[in-house]
Chains A and B, each alone.
Chain A
Amino acid sequence: MGGELIDRALEYASRSSRYSEARYMEILTNDLSYRNSEFEGMDSGKESGYAVRVINNSIAMAYCDREDWGRLKEAIDHAVRISMKPGKSSIWEGNSIKDSWKVNQRKPIEDMSVEDRVTLARDFDSLMKSAGADVRMNVIHDKRTKQHYVNSVGSDIRGDVARLYYFYMVGVIENGEFEQSTKEYGSSSGYEYLDSLNLEERITSDVRDLHESASAPRPSPGKFDVIVGPEISGIVAHESCGHPTEYDRIVGREGALAGESFLTGKKFPFRIGSENVSVIDDPTIQGSFGYYRYDDEGVPSRKRYLYRKGYTDEFILNRESASMIGRDSNAGGRSSSWDMEPLARMSTTYIEPGDYRFEELFEGVRKGIYIKSFTEWNIDDIRFNEKYVGKEAYLITNGDLSGRVRRPVIETTTINFYSAVDAVGRDLEFSAGMCGKGDPEQGVDVWMGGPHMRLREVYIQ
C-alpha cells in the first residue's frame, strides 16, 4: 500500500489551517458481466490517492492521485488559499483515536481466480435461461479498500475493507407482456457471501414470479389493507427515514441536488407515524454491505435510532453537521472514493421488527393486497411524497391469498405511510443498494431492510 506522504501532508496542512485532516485510500476492484449468454469482458482497476481537508475561514478540500510531494503540496497550498475565503467553517473535532480494523473474509476476494468469477456469472446466466428469462444481465463486482486517516487532533486509523456486490436483471415476455426484475446483493466479506444466499432458488422463483405477474390483472383502484414485504419495508426505511434524517439535508446543504427534508424547520421530536414504527441505522452489523467500525472521518460507529416509536430521534451526523447542532458526530461521515468529501450517509437502515408472526398479519384482512417486492419507485426532494410499484403481489380475501395482481401502486406520503402501520412482523430481511448523494455523485454501499408489516386503508392505484 502507498500513502507514505500522509503524515507529511497533515503536518504541512496543519501549519496553515485551524483544523486539518488527510486520508489516503487505495481501492482495488474487479468487475465482470454476462449478458444474454455472452461474456462481456472483465475490468480490473486500482485507484489510490490523497484527500486533504483544511479549515480556516471556510472549508476546502484538495485531492491528489500521485505519490509526488510536489503535486500534493501544490494541491494543499491551493486548498489553504481558498479556505481563507469566507464561508461556513465549523467542524466537530472530537478526540484522538488510534486504531486499526479490517473485514474478515473466509473466501478472500484476492484468492478468487478469474475462472471462478467467470463460472459464477455464467452459471447464474444459465440458471436464468433455464427458468425462462428472455433478458438476462449479471454483474459481479468486488472491491478491496485500504484506508489510512489522520487528523490534527491526533487520530490515526487504518482500515481494510472487502466488499462483494452481485447485481442481476431479468426480463420475461409472456403473451406479449413484459415484466422485469432487478436484484442487488452485497456484503462486507469475501465470496463466501454468495454461497450463503441460496441464489439458485431465489433466481428461479424470481423468474417464475415474473411469468405469473405478466399475465395477472391490474388491481381495481381503491382502499385496501396492505401487507408489505421486507423489500418494501427496506426501501421505505431508506428513502423516507434515512435520507430525511441526514442532518446536512435538513440544513439545506444538498438543497440544489437531492434536496432538503420534510423535517427542515420542524420542532423535534416530530411525529412521523404510528407508535409501531421504529427505524434504525446501524453500521456495526458484521457482514452488512454498509458495515464499518470507523467512518471515513475516523469516528467510531454505533447503532442509531432515527425514528423511535413514531417520533424522530437521532439524525445522521458527520463531523460538519454535528458541529451545526452542538452534538458529537455519530459516525455518519462516508466517502465513496479517495477523491470525494465525506457526507452524512446511511449504512444499514431498517425498520425494527415487532412481534407478529407472518400468518398473524393476514388475520382479519377482509380485502387486502400483499405486496412482497417492488419495481419502480421514487420520492420527492423533501422525502415526503413517495411511490412504490409492486412486482410480486397478491390479492387477500378474508385473510387468504386469492390470486396475483400486476403492478399495484402505492403513491402516498411519508406520514400517511407510517401512520397506517398497525402491525409489524418479527422477521427481518435485508437487501443491498448503492445510495446516491452529493455532487460529484457518490454511490455508497448500503443495506436496507425490515420485517413484513401491515398497513390499514391504503389507497392503491
Chain B
Amino acid sequence: MTADLVDDVFRRLQKEGFQEIALEFARENVEQIRFSASSTDLHNYWDEENLSVFAAMNGRTVSTVIKDPASVDQAIIRLKEVALRTPENPSFVSINREHQTYGNGMRSHFQSADLQDLQNAMINGSLAAGAERAAGLIYNRNSEITVKTSYNECQFSTGGLEGVIRAFKGPFTGQEAQHFGFSTSPTGKTFEEMGSEAAATASATSRMSEINPGKFRVLLSPYVMGNILSYSSGFLSYYAVETGLSCFAGMLGKEISTGEFSLYDDPEDYSGVGSRMCDDEGTPTSRLEIIGQGKLKSYLHSTSTATRAGTGTTGNAGIISPRAWQMSLNAGKTRFENMLDDLEDGLLINNAWYTRFQDYRNGIFSTVPRDGVFLVKGGEVQGALSGIRISDSVMDILKNVTAISRERKRVKWWEEISASTMPYVMVDGINISKAF
C-alpha cells in the first residue's frame, strides 16, 4: 500500500457520494522481545500497514480498516451499502472543516536497537541489585502516519522504545515500566537502571506486615497514578459525559482537587511514545489543560462532541468518542524523600492493576496493589503487605490529594497504564480493604 492508494481511496469515496471523509494510513514497524526467568521467551516482528476509513453520507457514518489493496473495491462497495441502509448517526455532526496548519513535529529517528542487548542490560541490572529472577519485555515501535480528510492533510511519525521489567525476590516483587519517545536517547545504561530500580523495590524489605482495613494516608507511585488516571481518562471524554457514565459530569469549572494538581493531555511531548501531531479528523493536537490548579477545565472533545456541547474541539478525536493521547500530571513542590518522611503512619504503593468500576457515574472502583506495597512508619518501610485493595472513588482520591512530588516518570504498562508522565502523589484517607 502506498500514499497513492490513500488518494485513490479518498477520490473513490468522494465519487460514491460520501461528503465527509477522514482517512488514517499507518505504516508500522514493531519489534518486541519478551523474557521470563531471566531469559528470552520470544522475539516478535510486525511489519503492517492499515488504512482506517471514516466516511459520512447524509448524516450516516461508516468505518472500516483496509489492510490489503486487493480488498479496496470490496470495502468501498460495502461502505456504500451500509451508508445507504442505516439510520442517521446523531452523534456525528461533522469533522473539522477549518483549514489547519501543522508544525514540523518530530521526525522519526527509528533505530534498529538490539533488543537482546537492552533486555540483557535490564536483566543484569536487576540481578546485580539482588533480584532472583526477572521477567519483562521491550518494544521498539515506529509508525509513519498520514491523516487525510476532506479538508486537511497531516503527516507525522510516532513511536519509540518501551521497557517493562519485573524483578522477583522470594515473595517480593518490584516493577518498572517506562517509555522513551523520539526526542530521547535511552541507552543500555538506562535499561540497566530500570532493572536495578525494580530489584531495589523487590529488596526493600524481607518482612511481611499486616493491617486492618480502614482509611490510610497513602503515597501513590507514578505507576499507581498512571493506572487510576488512565482508567479515568474515559470519563473525561465528553462521550462518557453525554452517555451518563462519567463521574466528571457536571463538574466543569468546579474544584475537584488541590490547587497543586494540574493534569494535561500533552501529545506534543516527543519524549513519550504517545506523541501525535493531529487527531483522527486532522485537528492539530496541542497541550490541553484538563484539570488546572484543582479545577476541571475541559473535557476531551472532537468537532462533533464539541458542537453538541457548544464549545470547540480539543484535538482529541476519536470522531465519535474522543480520547486522551498522552496525559501528564504536573510536578509538585515536594521531594519524594520528604514525602516519605511526611507519611508517618501510612502506605507506599508502587503499582496497581485490575482496576474495575462498580459505578461509572460516581467513579467507584477498586484496584489491586502489587510490585511493592509497603507499610511505612516514620518514613521507614516496616514491611510488605499483601492481599489488600484500594477500594474508593476517583473523585474522593482527587479531592484528598495533599502533596505532589517534584520527581516524575514517563510510565506505560500493558493495557493498564497508557503512555503518560506522572509524579508521586500523597492522598489522605484512602479506603483500604482486604481479603478474609
Mark A residues whose CB is within 8 Å of B: 2, 32, 35-36, 38-49, 58-67, 71, 74-75, 78-79, 82-83, 85-88, 113-115, 118, 134-135, 137, 169, 171, 178-180, 251-257, 259, 339, 341, 375-381, 385-387, 389, 407, 409, 411-413, 416, 436, 439, 441, 459, 461
Contact = CB atoms under 8 A, between A and B. Distances in A.
Contacts of B359: 178-180, 375
Nearest to A61: B44
Contacts of B353: 381
Contacts of A436: 415
A371 to B, nearest CB: 13
B433 A47 contact: no
Nearest to B389: A387
A378 B243 contact: no
Interface string B23-35: 0000000001011
B135 A66 contact: no
Contacts of A411: 389, 433-436
A137 B79 CA distance: 23
A439 B136 CA distance: 10
Contacts of B360: 171, 180
Given A411-B434, A416-B436, A441-B414, 11 more contacts: A38-B89, A41-B61, A44-B75, A46-B71, A62-B44, A79-B45, A87-B43, A255-B166, A256-B135, A387-B435, A411-B389
Q: How large is the interface on B (under 10, 10 to 19, 20 to 34, 35 or more residues)?
A: 35 or more
A391 B47 CA distance: 45
A159 to B, nearest CB: 20
16 contacts: A39-B87, A39-B89, A40-B91, A41-B89, A44-B78, A58-B43, A65-B48, A65-B68, A66-B49, A74-B47, A85-B43, A179-B359, A259-B370, A385-B386, A411-B389, A439-B34
B88 A39 contact: yes
Interface stretch (B12-20, B202-210, B275-283, B361-369): B361-369
B186 interface: no
Interface in B43-88: 43-49, 60-68, 70-71, 74-75, 78-79, 81-82, 85-88
Contact of B244 (A32, A85, A135, A416): A135
B210 to A, nearest CB: 14
Contact of B44 (A252, A255, A341): A341
The 7 closest A-B pairs by CB, nearest first: A87-B40, A255-B135, A376-B358, A459-B436, A378-B354, A41-B61, A256-B166
A45 B67 CA distance: 9
A35 B91 CA distance: 9
Given A114-B81, A376-B365, A60 B434 contact: no
Contacts of B47: 62-64, 71, 74-75
Nearest to B136: A256
A82 B40 CA distance: 11
Contacts of A65: 48-49, 67-68
Please indicate which of the listed interface residues A48, A61, A171, A380 has the most CB atoms of chain B within 10 Å of its own CB.
A380
Given A253-B41, A256-B175, A41 B86 contact: yes
Nearest to A137: B243
A135 B36 contact: no
A63 B48 contact: yes
A359 B44 CA distance: 54
Contact of A43 (B63, B67, B354, B433): B63
A115 B68 CA distance: 27
